Amino acid sequence: MNLSLHPILVLLIFPGGLFLLASGLVYQWADRKLIARFQNRVGPRFIQPLADTVKLLAKEEIIPAGVHKGLFIVLPVIALAAALTAGLNVPLFGFQPAASFRGDLIIALYALSVLTLTMGLAGANTVSSFSLIGATRTLTQLFSYEAPFLLALLGPAIAAGTWQISKINDYAGQNIWLMLAQPIGFVVSLIGLMGKLELPPFDAPEAETEIVAGAMTEYSGRGYALFRLGKDVELVIGLTLVATFYLGGLANPLQFVIKTMALLLVLALLQTAFARLRIDQTVGLWWRAGALLAVVQLIAIIVGRYLTTVF
């Protein structure tokens, strides 16, 4: 669907900016509520993520001794900014992306990686041993899932013949769902999304019982709120990407809500079903199984295209 709004309005209010932040909170609530229901619990009430954010913003921000003050304060802002920027390239809420150009798939993925990188930097900046280990794990995990995830998103790009997300969206809307045509790629992209968002079982970088909160340990108040908002926005954008590519494109807001919520349901189930993987097990899993499957899928696509052009 097309939305003719002034770019500044899109950036600040709708469908990016404030609306994207609000929907990030809604998706966080849905995620927590679904996980709770899977575990036979009640779960938080609807207003809980907003209450959390407001409370965090109102708290005192303690800057630990020995850190680079400027970096400490600026990194959460960069994280949130990067996440919001990625929202300009994907079909948020079923509307055409506000800034669509050739190759914006790479830019969107890069913006999301900047988020993870800033979290790693934030951890390395502080002197606490928990943060350092958390930062190491964050960056290690970044190196391990990036390649298979990108390859998995490349599959639909090859099928559509373009690197522009809005064009892939149109292609996916017109053809058979790529979830059926490229099932391996779908699985890799879904699991890769879990790795990107550091959801259990890939939450070794912020393993609560081992390293308190990983890279986020020393953050409190405003910085922490901004990081969390960044992660929520990343959740929405990640779901949008996978839904666009594999679940037949997003043509209007209704499709957006249904498809992303269905994906979130599956993600919540996968989050509750497994024990946490150690960081070395994560790397082993990704560089062996993940990369292999992604390459297999890619070869299958290339062979398929070659065969269709021949016959």
Partner 1 sequence: MSADINKFVIPIGPQHPALKEPANFEFWVDGEIVTGASVRLGYVHRGIEKGAEARTWVQNLYLMERICGICSHVHATAYTLGVEKLAGVQVSPRANAIRQIMGELERIHSHMLWLGVAAHEGGFDSLFMYSWRDRETVMDLLEKISGNKVHYSANLLGGVKFDITPELAAEIHKGLEFLDERNRFYLKVVNQDETFIGRTRGIGTMNAERANFLGAIGPTARASGIAHDIRVDAPYLNYSEFPIKVQTHTSGDLHGRFIVRINETFESIRVIREILDHMPPGELTVRMPRRIPAGEAVSRVEAPRGELLYFVASNGTDKPERVKVRTPSLCNWSTVLSLAIGLRLADMPMLLTGIDPCFSCNDRSVSVKRGTQDPSVWSWEKLRQYGIEYYR
Partner 2 sequence: MPIGTMMSDLVRSLFKKPATELYPYVKKPAPARLRGKLTWNPENCSGCQLCIKDCPSNAIDLVTVDKATKQFVMRYHVDHCIYCAQCVVSCRFGCLALSNEDWELAIGNKEPLGIFYGKEENIARVLEQLAQAGAEQPAVPEE
Residues that bind partner 2 (CB under 8 A): 34, 36-43, 269, 272-274
Closest to partner 2 by CB, 78 vs 277, is 277
218 binding partner 1? (CB under 8 A)? no
272 binding partner 1? (CB under 8 A)? yes
Q: 147 is written with which tokens? A: 């390649």
Closest to partner 2 by CB, 40 vs 309, is 40
Q: 82 is written with which tokens? A: 């990067």
Sign of the alpha-carbon torsion through 126, 68, 111, 102 = negative
Single-letter amino acid code for the residue at 298: L
270 exposed, middle or buried (CB, 10 Å; 0-12, 13-18, 19+)?
Answer: middle
Other Cβ atoms closer than 10 A to 302 = 12
* Measured distance CA(110)–CA(138) in Å, rounded: 16
Question: What is the secondary structure of 85-108 as a DSSP string?
Answer: HHTTTS-GGGSPPSS--TTHHHHH
Which one of partner 2, partner 1, none interacts with residue 112, CB within 5 to 8 A by kind? none
Single-letter amino acid code for the residue at 16: G
Single-letter amino acid code for the residue at 190: L
CB 211, min distance to partner 1, A: 8
Residue with tokens 């990686």: 113
Which one of partner 1, partner 2, none interacts with residue 280, CB within 5 to 8 A by kind? partner 1
* Measured distance CA(108)–CA(245) in Å, rounded: 14
Instruction: Mark residues 31-60: x for contact with partner 1 by CB under 8 A, - for none.
Output: -------xxxx-------------------
274 binding partner 1? (CB under 8 A)? yes
* Measured distance CA(61)–CA(79) in Å, rounded: 17
Is residue 106 a contact partner of residue 163, using CB atoms and an 8 Å limit?
yes
Which one of partner 1, partner 2, none interacts with residue 42, CB within 5 to 8 A by kind? partner 2
Which one of partner 1, partner 2, none interacts with residue 210, CB within 5 to 8 A by kind? partner 1
Closest to partner 2 by CB, 38 vs 110, is 38
Q: Residues 266, 281, 299, 306: which binds partner 1 (CB under 8 A)? A: 281
Q: Residues 92, 121, 133, 250: which binds partner 1 (CB under 8 A)? A: 133
Closest to partner 2 by CB, 254 vs 273, is 273
For residue 274, what is the DSSP state? S
Instruction: Mark residues 137-176: x for contact with partner 1 by CB under 8 A, - for none.
Output: ----------------------------------------
Which one of partner 1, partner 2, none interacts with residue 269, CB within 5 to 8 A by kind? partner 2
Closest to partner 1 by CB, 185 vs 200, is 200
Closest residue by Cα to residue 188 from 299, 294, 300: 294
CA distances (Å), 138 to each of 118, 133, 223, in order? Answer: 10, 9, 18
Closest to partner 1 by CB, 90 vs 211, is 211
222 binding partner 1? (CB under 8 A)? no
Closest residue by Cα to residue 213 from 311, 149, 144, 133: 133
199 binding partner 1? (CB under 8 A)? no
Interface positions with partner 1 (CB under 8 A): 38-41, 129-130, 132-133, 136, 200-201, 203-204, 207-212, 272-281
